[in-house]
Protein backbone atom coordinates (compact mmCIF):
# COMPACT_ATOMS: atom_id res chain seq x y z
CA UNK A 1 0.00 0.00 0.00
CA UNK A 2 2.92 2.30 0.72
CA UNK A 3 4.13 2.11 -2.89
CA UNK A 4 1.44 4.49 -4.17
CA UNK A 5 1.47 7.12 -1.45
CA UNK A 6 2.91 10.51 -2.23
CA UNK A 7 5.86 11.63 -0.15
CA UNK A 8 3.63 14.17 1.61
CA UNK A 9 1.30 11.39 2.81
CA UNK A 10 4.06 9.29 4.39
CA UNK A 11 4.55 9.93 8.11
CA UNK A 12 8.21 10.54 8.90
CA UNK A 13 10.15 11.12 12.07
CA UNK A 14 11.66 14.56 12.33
CA UNK A 15 15.35 14.96 11.60
CA UNK A 16 17.64 15.12 14.59
CA UNK A 17 20.83 17.21 14.35
CA UNK A 18 24.14 15.36 14.81
CA UNK A 19 24.98 17.16 18.07
CA UNK A 20 21.67 16.36 19.76
CA UNK A 21 21.96 13.74 22.56
CA UNK A 22 18.64 12.25 21.38
CA UNK A 23 20.51 10.95 18.35
CA UNK A 24 22.41 8.42 20.45
CA UNK A 25 20.85 5.18 21.61
CA UNK A 26 21.01 6.27 25.27
CA UNK A 27 19.15 9.52 24.58
CA UNK A 28 16.56 7.98 22.24
CA UNK A 29 12.95 9.03 22.70
CA UNK A 30 10.20 7.67 20.48
CA UNK A 31 8.38 10.12 18.25
CA UNK A 32 4.77 10.83 19.25
CA UNK A 33 3.51 9.90 15.78
CA UNK A 34 4.94 6.39 16.22
CA UNK A 35 3.34 5.40 19.51
CA UNK A 36 1.81 2.11 18.38
CA UNK A 37 3.74 -1.09 19.02
CA UNK A 38 4.95 -3.02 16.01
CA UNK A 39 2.81 -6.04 15.15
CA UNK A 40 4.39 -9.31 16.16
CA UNK A 41 3.88 -12.30 13.89
CA UNK A 42 5.35 -15.61 14.80
CA UNK A 43 4.86 -17.85 11.79
CA UNK A 44 7.23 -20.55 12.96
CA UNK A 45 5.62 -21.44 16.26
CA UNK A 46 5.82 -25.25 16.48
CA UNK A 47 3.05 -25.40 19.08
CA UNK A 48 0.59 -23.37 17.04
CA UNK A 49 -2.51 -25.21 15.99
CA UNK A 50 -3.60 -25.32 12.35
CA UNK A 51 -6.84 -23.45 13.17
CA UNK A 52 -4.80 -20.55 14.57
CA UNK A 53 -2.42 -20.52 11.62
CA UNK A 54 -5.13 -20.55 8.96
CA UNK A 55 -6.49 -17.00 9.64
CA UNK A 56 -2.95 -15.58 9.47
CA UNK A 57 -2.30 -17.26 6.15
CA UNK A 58 -5.69 -16.17 4.85
CA UNK A 59 -5.00 -12.55 5.84
CA UNK A 60 -1.58 -12.72 4.21
CA UNK A 61 -2.95 -13.96 0.89
CA UNK A 62 -5.84 -11.52 1.00
CA UNK A 63 -3.45 -8.59 1.51
CA UNK A 64 -1.14 -9.95 -1.20
CA UNK A 65 -4.04 -10.29 -3.65
CA UNK A 66 -5.21 -6.77 -2.83
CA UNK A 67 -1.75 -5.34 -3.50
CA UNK A 68 -1.52 -7.34 -6.74
CA UNK A 69 -4.90 -6.11 -7.98
CA UNK A 70 -3.97 -2.52 -7.09
CA UNK A 71 -0.68 -2.89 -8.94
CA UNK A 72 -2.40 -4.42 -11.98
CA UNK A 73 -5.07 -1.72 -12.08
CA UNK A 74 -2.42 0.99 -11.81
CA UNK A 75 -0.43 -0.70 -14.57
CA UNK A 76 -3.53 -0.83 -16.78
CA UNK A 77 -4.21 2.85 -16.05
CA UNK A 78 -0.67 3.82 -17.01
CA UNK A 79 -0.71 1.58 -20.08
CA UNK A 80 -4.02 3.06 -21.25
CA UNK A 81 -2.72 6.58 -20.67
CA UNK A 82 0.46 5.77 -22.58
CA UNK A 83 -1.51 4.23 -25.44
CA UNK A 84 -3.83 7.24 -25.59
CA UNK A 85 -0.86 9.62 -25.60
CA UNK A 86 0.84 7.64 -28.37
CA UNK A 87 -2.31 7.60 -30.52
CA UNK A 88 -2.84 11.31 -29.91
CA UNK A 89 0.77 11.95 -30.93
CA UNK A 90 0.34 9.85 -34.10
CA UNK A 91 -2.86 11.72 -34.96
CA UNK A 92 -1.12 15.05 -34.37
CA UNK A 93 1.80 14.01 -36.59
CA UNK A 94 -0.59 12.84 -39.32
CA UNK A 95 -2.46 16.15 -39.14
CA UNK A 96 0.85 18.02 -39.35
CA UNK A 97 1.90 15.99 -42.42
CA UNK A 98 -1.52 16.63 -43.99
CA UNK A 99 -1.13 20.38 -43.41
CA UNK A 100 2.37 20.31 -44.92
CA UNK A 101 1.09 18.39 -47.97
CA UNK A 102 -1.74 20.89 -48.43
CA UNK A 103 0.76 23.76 -48.21
CA UNK A 104 2.97 22.07 -50.82
CA UNK A 105 -0.02 21.63 -53.14
CA UNK A 106 -0.99 25.24 -52.63
CA UNK A 107 2.55 26.40 -53.44
CA UNK A 108 2.65 24.18 -56.53
CA UNK A 109 -0.67 25.62 -57.77
CA UNK A 110 0.58 29.16 -57.15
CA UNK A 111 3.74 28.39 -59.13
CA UNK A 112 1.66 27.01 -62.00
CA UNK A 113 -0.51 30.14 -62.02
CA UNK A 114 2.56 32.37 -61.99
CA UNK A 115 4.06 30.32 -64.83
CA UNK A 116 0.86 30.67 -66.87
CA UNK A 117 0.75 34.43 -66.21
CA UNK A 118 4.37 34.75 -67.28
CA UNK A 119 3.69 32.81 -70.49
CA UNK A 120 0.64 34.98 -71.25
CA UNK A 121 2.70 38.11 -70.66
CA UNK A 122 5.41 36.83 -73.02
CA UNK A 123 2.77 36.14 -75.69
CA UNK A 124 1.35 39.65 -75.26
CA UNK A 125 4.82 41.16 -75.53
CA UNK A 126 5.48 39.13 -78.68
CA UNK A 127 2.19 40.31 -80.22
CA UNK A 128 2.90 43.93 -79.26
CA UNK A 129 6.34 43.75 -80.86
CA UNK A 130 4.81 42.41 -84.06
CA UNK A 131 2.28 45.25 -84.08
CA UNK A 132 5.01 47.85 -83.49
CA UNK A 133 7.19 46.49 -86.26
CA UNK A 134 4.28 46.51 -88.62
CA UNK A 135 3.89 44.34 -91.65
CA UNK A 136 7.09 43.43 -93.28
CA UNK A 137 7.40 44.76 -96.79
CA UNK A 138 9.30 42.70 -99.14
CA UNK A 139 10.20 44.26 -102.43
CA UNK A 140 11.03 41.95 -105.17
CA UNK A 141 12.58 42.99 -108.48
Buried/exposed 25-63: b ≥16 CB within 10 Å, e otherwise: eeeeeeeeeeeeeeeeeeeeeeeeeeeeeeeeeeeeeee
Count how many domains the chain has: 1
Domain that holds residue 101: 53-122
109 in a domain, yes or no?
yes
As a whole number of angstroms, the distance between CA 35 and CA 15 comes to 17
Express each pLDDT in 11-51 by its tens digit: 777 787 777 766 666 666 777 777 777 767 666 666 777 77
Contacts of 16 (CB under 8 A, 6+ apart): 22, 23
27 in a domain, yes or no?
no
pTM: 0.41
37 in a domain, yes or no?
no
93 in a domain, yes or no?
yes
31 in a domain, yes or no?
no
85 in a domain, yes or no?
yes
105 in a domain, yes or no?
yes
Amino acid sequence: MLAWKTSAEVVRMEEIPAGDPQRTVLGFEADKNFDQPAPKFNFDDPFEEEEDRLPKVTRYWKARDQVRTQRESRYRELLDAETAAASWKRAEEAAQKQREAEEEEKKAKEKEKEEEKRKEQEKRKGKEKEKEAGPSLSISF
